[in-house]
């Protein structure tokens, strides 16, 4: 039986795995590519914090690093995992002519409000990893927007992360167009725009209260309107000139697509958001839910767009300030990743102090 995950490719959508551990980077990814047609991997500080703190997979490398600071050790571990995963996916990258096969790594979340430092670290990470199929993740904060443009202009692949609202998404597209217009060969740079989904419902539902008829509708509605904006902007004359030079569209990527509310279908944010030139990032639980799921249909993201617009408009009548929802989610997202990064450094400090574990 072909799993639902693999069927996404036939419907025009790439499936990327939203998880990375050392065992995956060292070989586990092969099965995901073979069995589920996974064509990319994303990571973030929370994923690395869990992976590094989980066990002894990193003990030998930490011991070999010697007396270094926790931050230096963190980046050494991360760079090695990202490089190994990129090597695993290089065949996908080559087979798709650079459309897929990417591994994403985020700049330090402590730099989310620092433009120049973000650009500098993006360049440093891309050079250190030394693989063409790596994307540097930069948050879509106000300060991140010029960093996105500058990094793209330098010919570095960018995964723009922590996008929640349509107004900010429009500015992300502007930043991409600015950056790619300054690249000598735009066909050699790729970008995705990571539009977060489930957290929108979590925060909106909290404000609506139990049992409200709009509960569970905001996230999908928001994403459908984002896709509509994507299609409009990448069909405009400003894009046509860049496309003629070989530029690639900046694909929308649906992030945070595991449902947080147990009463919602575990595949809600997959079923409703399928469309060409898009990516869905799947956590392990989503992979499990989709293995035997056959109810996937093409172009669902283009359906019900007018209803989506009405649903978001109705939020205001229900007393929900949706702009405040997206602003809150961005702030909390930045803070959450920053805390995960700090927690990871604490775990590394403890591991270095304890020394390598005894092996049985």
Q: Is the pLDDT of residue 284 over 70?
A: yes
In this prediction, residue 293 carries a pLDDT of 81
Identify whether the C-beta of residue 302 lies closer than 8 Å to the C-beta of residue 190.
no
CATH code of residue 98: 3.20.20.70
Closest by alpha carbon to 18, among 104, 84, 82, 79? 104
Task: Please pick, among 50, 137, 224, 260, the residue that the annotation labels catalytic.
Answer: 137
79 is written with which tokens?
A: 């760079």
9 is written with which tokens?
A: 């490719």
pTM of the entire structure? 0.95
Neighbours of 66 (CB within 10 A): 8
Classify residue 104: in a domain, yes or no.
Answer: yes
In whole angstroms, what is the distance from residue 35 CA to residue 38 CA? 8
Q: Is the pLDDT of residue 55 over 70?
A: no
Phi-psi category of residue 37: left, alpha or beta, with phi > 0 → left and psi -120 to 50 → alpha: left
Classify residue 360: in a domain, yes or no.
Answer: no
Domain total of the chain: 1
Query: 327: buried, middle or exposed (CB in 10 Å: 19+, 13-18, 0-12)?
Result: middle
Residue 252's pLDDT band, with cuts at 50, 70 and 90, is: very high
Classify residue 359: in a domain, yes or no.
Answer: no
Mean pLDDT to the nearest integer, 7-36: 94
Write the CB contacts of 279 (distance below 8 Å, at least 6 apart in sequence): 13, 14, 15, 16, 40, 192, 251, 252, 253, 254
Q: Which domain covers residue 101, as residue numbers?
A: 4-354
In this prediction, residue 155 carries a pLDDT of 97
Q: How many CA atoms lie within 13 A of 219 on its CB side?
A: 30
Classify residue 221: in a domain, yes or no.
Answer: yes
List, for residues 138-171, the tens digit of each pLDDT value: 999 999 999 999 999 999 999 999 999 999 999 9
Identify whether the C-beta of residue 271 lies closer than 8 Å to the C-beta of residue 295.
yes
Residue 360's pLDDT band, with cuts at 50, 70 and 90, is: very low
**Hey, which residues does 15 pair with through a beta bridge?**
38, 280
In whole angstroms, what is the distance from residue 257 CA to residue 300 CA? 15
Q: Catalytic: 137?
A: yes
């Amino acid at each position: 039986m072909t799993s639902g995950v693999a069927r996404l490719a036939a419907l025009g959508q790439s499936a990327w795995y939203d998880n990375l551990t050392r065992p995956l980077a060292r070989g586990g990814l092969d099965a995901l590519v073979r069995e589920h047609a996974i064509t990319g991997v994303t990571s973030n500080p929370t994923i690395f914090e869990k992976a590094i703190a989980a066990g002894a997979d990193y003990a030998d490398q930490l011991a070999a690093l010697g007396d270094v600071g926790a931050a230096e050790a963190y980046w050494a571990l991360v760079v090695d995992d990202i490089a190994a995963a990129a090597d695993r996916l290089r065949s996908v990258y080559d087979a798709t002519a650079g459309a897929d096969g990417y591994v994403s790594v985020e700049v330090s979340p402590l730099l989310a409000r620092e433009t120049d430092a973000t650009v500098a670290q993006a360049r440093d990470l891309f050079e250190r990893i030394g693989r063409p199929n790596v994307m540097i993740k930069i948050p879509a904060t106000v300060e991140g927007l010029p960093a996105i443009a500058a990094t793209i202009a330098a010919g570095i692949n960018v995964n723009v992360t922590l996008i929640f609202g349509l107004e900010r998404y429009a500015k992300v597209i502007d930043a991409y167009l600015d950056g790619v217009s300054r690249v000598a060969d735009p066909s050699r740079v790729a970008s995705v725009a990571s539009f977060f989904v489930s957290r929108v419902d979590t925060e909106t539902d909290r404000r609506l209260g139990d049992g409200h008829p709009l509960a569970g509708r905001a996230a999908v509605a928001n994403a459908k309107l984002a896709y509509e904006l994507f299609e409009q902007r990448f069909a405009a004359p400003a894009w046509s000139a860049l496309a003629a030079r070989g530029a690639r569209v900046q694909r929308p990527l649906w992030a945070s697509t595991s449902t947080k509310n147990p009463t919602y279908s575990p595949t809600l944010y997959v079923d409703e958001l399928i469309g060409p030139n898009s990516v869905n990032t799947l956590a392990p639980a989503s992979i499990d839910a989709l293995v035997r799921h056959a109810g996937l249909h093409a172009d669902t993201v283009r359906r019900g767009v007018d209803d989506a617009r009405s649903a978001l408009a109705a939020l205001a009548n229900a007393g929900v300030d949706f702009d405040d929802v997206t602003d809150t989610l961005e702030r909390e997202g930045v803070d959450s990743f920053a805390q995960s990064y700090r927690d990871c450094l604490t775990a590394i400090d403890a591991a270095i102090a304890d020394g390598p574990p005894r092996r049985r």
